[in-house]
Amino acid sequence: MSQPDLKLSITFEFELSAPGELRELGHENLCKAMHDLLGAMVLQGMPTVTSKQLGKAGVSVLSHHHHLDVANTAAAAIPRAEYVAAAPHLTDDELVQLARRTSGKLPVIEGERARVLRRNALALVGEFRMIPCVVHARLSSGKDAQLQGRLNLTNGSVLLGDRDRQSRLQPNQDSLRVEGGGTGVGLKASCAGHTLSGPVIEVPLTELAAHRDTLIGLWQKS
Each residue's pLDDT tens digit, 16-64: 888 878 877 877 888 899 999 999 888 888 999 999 998 899 899 989 8
Instruction: Give me the CATH number covering residue 209.
Output: 2.40.10
Cα–Cα nearest to 157, from 191, 186, 185, 110 = 191
Handedness of CA 126, 152, 211, 114 (dihedral sign): positive
Kindly state whether residues 149 and 104 are assigned to the same domain. no
Query: Which is higher by pLDDT, 49 or 74?
Result: 49
pLDDT for res 13: 86
Query: Which is higher by pLDDT, 138 or 15?
Result: 138
Kindly state whether residues 138 and 154 are assigned to the same domain. yes
pLDDT in tens, 136-157: 999 999 999 999 999 999 999 9
Half-sphere exposure at residue 48, Cβ-oriented, CA atoms within 13 angstroms:
6
Kindly state whether residues 154 and 209 are assigned to the same domain. yes
Measured between its terminal Cα atoms, the distance across the chain in Å is 56
pLDDT in tens, 171-211: 889 889 999 988 889 999 999 999 988 999 999 999 999 99
Kindly state whether residues 134 and 208 are assigned to the same domain. yes
What's the distance, CA 98 to chain centroid?
8
pLDDT-based confidence at 76, cuts 50/70/90? low
pLDDT for res 77: 74
Q: Looking at 36, 57, 74, which one is the last position of a domain?
A: 74
Kindly state whether residues 150 and 199 are assigned to the same domain. yes
DSSP codes joined into one string, 62-124? -----------TTSPPPPHHHHHHH-TTS-HHHHHHHHHHHTT---SSHHHHHHHHHHHHHHH
Strands 177-180 vs 130-138: parallel, antiparallel or unpaired: antiparallel
pTM over 0.75: no
Handedness of CA 28, 34, 40, 43 (dihedral sign): negative
Cα(222)–Cα(219) distance, rounded to whole angstroms?
A: 5
Cα–Cα nearest to 95, from 76, 81, 115 = 81
| Number of compact structural domains in the chain | 3
pLDDT-based confidence at 135, cuts 50/70/90? very high
pLDDT-based confidence at 75, cuts 50/70/90? low
pLDDT-based confidence at 1, cuts 50/70/90? low
pLDDT for res 127: 96
The amino acid present at 199, given as its one-letter code, is: P
Q: How many C-beta atoms lie closer than 10 Å to residue 216's C-beta?
A: 22
Kindly state whether residues 41 and 110 are assigned to the same domain. no
Kindly state whether residues 138 and 211 are assigned to the same domain. yes
Highest mean pLDDT among 5-19, 69-83, 146-160: 146-160
Specify the DSSP element, H or E, that contains 214: helix 212-221
Cα(43)–Cα(30) distance, rounded to whole angstroms?
A: 16
Q: What is the mean pLDDT of residues 159-171?
A: 93
Q: What is the mean pLDDT of residues 99-115?
A: 84
- Give me the domain span that covers residue 157: 130-221
Query: Which is higher by pLDDT, 56 or 74?
Result: 56
Kindly state whether residues 144 and 190 are assigned to the same domain. yes
As to burial, measured by CB atoms within 10 angstroms (0-12 exposed, 13-18 middle, 19+ buried), residue 18 is middle
**% of the chain at pLDDT higher than 90:** 58
Kindly state whether residues 188 and 207 are assigned to the same domain. yes
Half-sphere exposure at residue 33, Cβ-oriented, CA atoms within 13 angstroms:
15
